[in-house]
Amino acid sequence: MRVAGLLLAAGAGRRFGGPKALVSHGGVLWVDSTLAVLRDAGCAPLVVVLGAGADEVRARAGLEGALVVVNDEWASGMGSSLRAGLAVLDASDAVVVLPVDTPGVTVAAVRRFVDLAAPAALARAVYGGAPGHPVLLGRDHWAGVSASASGDAGARDYLREHRAVAVPCDDVADGRDVDRPEDLP
């Protein structure tokens, strides 16, 4: 089973004060640490979608072994980045999707989704019963997700309508989205 890793890192991070791909923790950019989580969990190939600050991210980040896609429509929201990333995947059976602003997601959490991967799979992490990331999209769902992804909702509506499997991850990760600096743990 080929399970790709898709890192969404295109946003401007207006509430944060700049692109979250360029946020550093412990001297490591979030885009690099999130990519490492996907890699270490066994995802391959790896795709990173950039947008705001793409040139600076490319200049400062490692991004080793990843296909970098620049989403020129990044300002329209996560949906366009999800579509851009799915469009370049070809030989994979499924993809694990992870946004750059969930730095508490661990390799152990992502591995749960790699283990569930299949062309018909559809799953999302839950934390305290609330939906979060990562998300697993089997190949059979890519066209439907791409058609429905809009604005900042990404695949949210598709996952709800198609009853994605809820995968509890509270025991191995912190799935909080970090929207502002004060949201950091």
Does 21 reside within a domain? yes
CB 94 within 8 A of CB 136: yes
Determine the structural domain holding residue 39 and report its residue range.
3-173
Question: What CATH number did the domain enclosing 118 receive?
Answer: 3.90.550.10
Does 181 reside within a domain? no
| pTM across the whole model | 0.95
Does 178 reside within a domain? no
Residue-level pLDDT, tens digit, the chain, 185 residues: 899 999 999 998 888 778 889 988 889 999 999 999 999 999 999 999 999 999 999 999 999 899 999 999 999 999 999 999 999 998 999 999 999 999 999 999 999 999 999 999 999 999 999 999 999 999 999 999 999 998 888 899 999 999 999 999 999 999 888 787 777 76
Does 77 reside within a domain? yes
Does 39 reside within a domain? yes
ω before 131 within 30° of 0 (cis)?
no
CA distance 33 to 52: 19
Does 13 reside within a domain? yes
Does 98 reside within a domain? yes
Please state the domain count of the chain.
1
Residue listed under structure tokens 């058609």? 147
| CB-based contacts of 101, cutoff 8 Å, min separation 6 | 11, 13, 16, 20, 30, 177, 178, 179
